[in-house]
């Protein structure tokens, strides 16, 4: 059994060719040591609301190496778990010439992996992948990218509600939802303490970005939504705790050494020279309060290059401009940064945004129509109905922020046409959120290919009724009927057309992206229980896509995706 002194982790976070970071939460103030062979790296924990954390930075590693490691607290070994049947965790660095392999997905609830949990929430696709990796090291990705809803702060499980009842009256606001940092800390512990998932996150580097349920359903859907929340007695503490805990548990590990050096909270931690740990509670809470009020003062989006593949991870939640006359999914400060990152000259450009950019076309038209009437296109009464509908059925993806959608569509078209340097073979948008998976593709006759791939959920299946709605919105009359509805509210036509080429399908899935000589190969995988062995599901492929270079009649390469 893993040591009780190590509460969460270790989690292998930002890892590059010669460096890596290991994150932990410990039970007490401690000196944390990561040992690889004969080398050691050590740091002190820092404290937040009585909890203890450390991020250990490893440097001067060998590119392309696979190195077993152990974690010690005050000299005592606490990881790996001596009772685990899984292989020893390793720190694997990527060599410059290695083709990128990345697992990705979104939306994962944390319930037991027994027959009851699998019946109500389906088999955990991430845990299934962990077990498969434990048996076959060749499956190891260079990164697992989690695109939102790692935790559900507003839709809590029985285990989380039991914890809440033990510390406050659950009949008082915010009821079964999370209230403060203490409850977030317990929620993350529930999410990441399962044996197989814990091992997976200790041996595969991870990157993350939040979505709404990491804080609350419809987070920042509109100015009306924000005013409703701010009128409650509990929202301020909730959003401060949500952002503060996100920085500790998710965002800090996303950062490269250079990005950490520029981070104002990390600068406080790194500058601490005292013999004991630094308590950053007040500073972190003040930072979170400011970021909520003034989102332009901090950026959660980030960019990473893997040779000739660029990955841009976009914050589509905290950086919104909710001003009715200037609604934007990404505010002007964030947009300037995003615009700078979106360039040609890469073989593949990956844009990861929790919310799909290209929805099934019928749903796209409904969301753009709803935004228009919510903003007054049909008068005040219709605006109230539109706002209620927006919040009721989550009509808040890129399509519901037409200014941002049109702007990004223009940039992607410009890149694909070679207007920002050599056109990539593909521009691939990776998304989650919608609780079904699919592939959509922009209809183009030349240049780079623009493809939307969605992998959702990892573990939180869509109700049956909503599945039928998703299918209807993907095909048939959805396109012409939706277009008529949108035009009735004077919504501008999209600058290009796209079709759903694969899906939708509704399994709990984790997707794997592999760079190959023929292009980017994407596969979606689910877990299948056999012979009643609920805790050891078999991994099964659900779908496959090759996003390869476009080839002309004479065989010349010009960027093309092959389904």
Whole-number Å distance between alpha carbons of 69 and 159: 32
Lowest-confidence segment of 108-112, 223-227, 235-239, 468-472 by average pLDDT: 468-472
What is the arithmetic mean of pLDDT over 368-396?
91
In order of 304, 425, 514, the CA distances from 419 in angstroms are 22, 14, 27
When pLDDT is averaged across residues 432-460 and rounded to a whole number, the result is: 94
Query: Quick check: 319 pLDDT over 60?
Result: yes
18 burial (CB, 10 Å; 0-12 / 13-18 / 19+) is middle
Please check whether residue 157 is in contact with residue 109, taking contact to mean a CB–CB distance below 8 angstroms: yes
Q: Is the pLDDT of residue 223 over 80?
A: yes
Provide the pLDDT confidence category of residue 481 given band limits of 50, 70 and 90. Answer: low
**pLDDT at residue number 527:** 98
Is the four-CA dihedral 358, 361, 362, 368 of positive or negative sign?
positive
Q: Transcribe 351-393 into DSSP letters.
A: EEESS-SS--HHHHHHHHHHHHHHTTTT-HHHHHHHHHHHHHT
Question: Collapsing DSSP states into helix, strand and coil, what is residue 410?
Answer: helix
Higher pLDDT, 1 or 91: 91
Measured CA to CA, the distance from residue 438 to residue 500 in angstroms comes to 7
- For residue range 290-317, what is the model confidence (pLDDT) as tens digits? 999 999 999 999 999 999 999 999 999 9
Q: What is the share, in percent, of the chain residues with pLDDT greater than 70?
A: 94
Q: Tell me the C-alpha distance between 414 and 424, whole Å.
A: 11
| Cβ atoms 299, 329 nearer than 8 A | no
Confidence category of residue 402, pLDDT binned at 50, 70, 90: very high
pLDDT at 394 over 50: yes
What pLDDT is stored for residue 563 in this prediction? 46
126 Cβ contact list (under 8 Å, min separation 6): 105, 108, 144, 197, 200, 458, 459, 510
The beta strand positions in 27-65, using DSSP E, are: 31-36, 39-44, 46-48, 51-58
Average pLDDT for 205-229: 97
Rounded mean pLDDT, 391-396: 88
pLDDT tens-digit series, residues 167-201 = 999 999 999 999 999 999 999 999 999 999 999 99
Residues 335 and 404: their CA atoms lie apart, in Å, by 9
Are the C-beta atoms of residues 238 and 48 closer than 8 Å to each other? Answer: no
- The pTM for the full model equals 0.95
Q: Which residues pair with 502 in a beta bridge?
A: 439
For 224, counting Cβ atoms within 10 Å of its Cβ (0-12 exposed, 13-18 middle, 19+ buried), the class is middle
DSSP 88: P
Kindly provide the b/e burial profile for residues 504-538, where b requires at least 16 CB atoms within 10 angstroms of the residue's own CB.
bbbbbbbbbbbbeeebbbbbbbbbebeeeebbebe
Tell me if residue 157 falls in helix, strand or coil: coil
Per-residue model confidence (pLDDT) at position 473: 63
- C-alpha distances (whole Å) from 500 to each of 334, 448, 478, 504, 513 are 29, 18, 12, 8, 19
Q: Average per-residue pLDDT in the chain?
A: 93
Order across the sheet with 348-353: list the strands. Answer: 302-306, 309-314, 348-353, 426-431, 449-454, 437-442, 498-505
CB environment 262-282: b (16+ within 10 A), e (fewer): ebebbeebbeeeeeebbbbee
| Residue that the structure tokens 């999370």 belong to | 178
Q: Is the pLDDT of residue 470 over 80?
A: no
Task: Please tell me the distance from the alpha carbon of residue 510 to that of residue 541, in angstroms, as a whole number.
Answer: 10
Q: Which of 498, 341, 501, 487 is nearest to 402 (CA)?
A: 487
Query: How far apart (Å, rounded) are the C-alpha atoms in residues 304 and 449?
Result: 21
Per residue in 324-372, pLDDT tens?
Answer: 999 999 999 999 999 999 999 999 999 999 999 999 988 899 899 999 9
- How big, in percent rounded to 5, are the helix, strand and coil portions of the chain? 35, 25, 40
pLDDT score for 464: 77
- List, for residues 46-92, the tens digit of each pLDDT value: 999 999 999 999 999 999 999 999 999 999 999 999 989 999 999 99
Q: What is the pLDDT of residue 477?
A: 53
Does 138 or 393 have the greater pLDDT score? 138
The SS3 call for residue 420 is coil
Q: Fill in the DSSP letter of residue 238.
A: H
Backbone angles phi, psi at 205, to 5 degrees: -60, 145
């Amino acid at each position: 059994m893993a040591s009780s002194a190590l509460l969460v982790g270790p989690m292998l976070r930002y890892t590059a060719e010669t460096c890596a970071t290991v994150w932990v939460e410990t039970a007490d103030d401690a000196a944390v040591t990561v040992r690889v062979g004969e080398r050691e790296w050590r740091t002190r924990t820092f404290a937040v609301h009585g909890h203890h954390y450390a991020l250990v930075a490893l440097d001067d590693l060998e590119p392309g190496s696979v190195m077993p490691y152990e974690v010690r607290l005050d000299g005592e070994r606490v990881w790996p778990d001596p009772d685990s049947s899984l292989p020893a965790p390793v720190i694997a660095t990527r060599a410059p010439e290695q083709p990128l392999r990345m697992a990705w997905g979104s939306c994962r609830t944390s319930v037991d992996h027994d027959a009851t949990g699998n019946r109500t929430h389906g088999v955990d696709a991430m845990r299934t992948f962990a077990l498969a990796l434990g048996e076959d090291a060749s499956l190891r990705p260079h990164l697992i990218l989690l695109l939102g809803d790692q935790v559900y702060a507003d839709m809590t499980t029985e285990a989380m509600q039991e914890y809440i009842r033990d510390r406050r009256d659950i009949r008082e606001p915010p009821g079964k939802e999370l209230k403060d940092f203490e409850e977030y800390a317990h929620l993350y512990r529930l999410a990441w303490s399962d044996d197989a998932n814990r091992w997976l996150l200790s041996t595969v580097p991870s990157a993350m970005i939040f979505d709404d349920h990491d804080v609350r359903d419809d987070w920042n859907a509109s100015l009306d939504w924000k005013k409703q929340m701010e009128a409650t007695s509990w929202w301020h503490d909730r959003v401060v705790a949500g952002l503060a805990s996100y920085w500790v548990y998710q965002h800090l590990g996303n950062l490269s050494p250079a990005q950490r050096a520029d981070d104002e909270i990390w600068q406080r931690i790194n500058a601490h020279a005292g013999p004991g740990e630094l308590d950053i509670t007040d500073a972190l809470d003040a930072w979170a309060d400011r970021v909520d009020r003034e989102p332009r003062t901090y950026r959660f989006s980030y960019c990473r290059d893997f040779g000739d593949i660029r990955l841009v991870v976009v914050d589509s939640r905290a950086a919104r401009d909710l001003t009715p006359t200037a609604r934007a999914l990404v505010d002007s400060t964030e947009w300037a940064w995003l615009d700078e990152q979106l360039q040609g000259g890469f073989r593949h450009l990956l844009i990861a945004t929790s919310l799909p950019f290209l929805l099934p076309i019928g749903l796209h038209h409904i969301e753009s129509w709803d935004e228009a009437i919510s903003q007054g296109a049909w008068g005040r009464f219709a605006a109230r109905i539109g706002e209620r509908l927006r919040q009721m059925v989550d009509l808040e993806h890129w399509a519901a922020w037409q200014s941002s959608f049109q702007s990004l569509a223009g940039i992607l078209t410009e890149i694909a046409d070679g207007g920002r340097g050599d056109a990539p073979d593909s521009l691939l948008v990776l998304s989650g959120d919608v609780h079904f998976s699919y592939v959509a593709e922009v209809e183009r006759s030349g240049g780079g290919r623009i493809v939307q791939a969605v992998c959702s959920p990892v573990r939180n299946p869509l109700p049956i009724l909503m599945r039928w709605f998703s299918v209807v919105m993907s095909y048939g009359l959805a396109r012409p009927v939706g277009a008529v509805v949108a035009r009735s509210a004077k919504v501008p036509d999209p600058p290009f057309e796209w079709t759903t080429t694969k899906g939708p399908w509704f399994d709990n899935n984790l997707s794997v992206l592999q760079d190959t000589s023929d292009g980017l190969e994407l596969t979606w995988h689910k877990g299948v229980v056999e012979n009643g062995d609920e805790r050891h599901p078999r991994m099964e492929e659900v779908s496959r896509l090759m996003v390869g270079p476009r080839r002309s009649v004479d065989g010349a390469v010009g960027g093309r995706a092959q389904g």
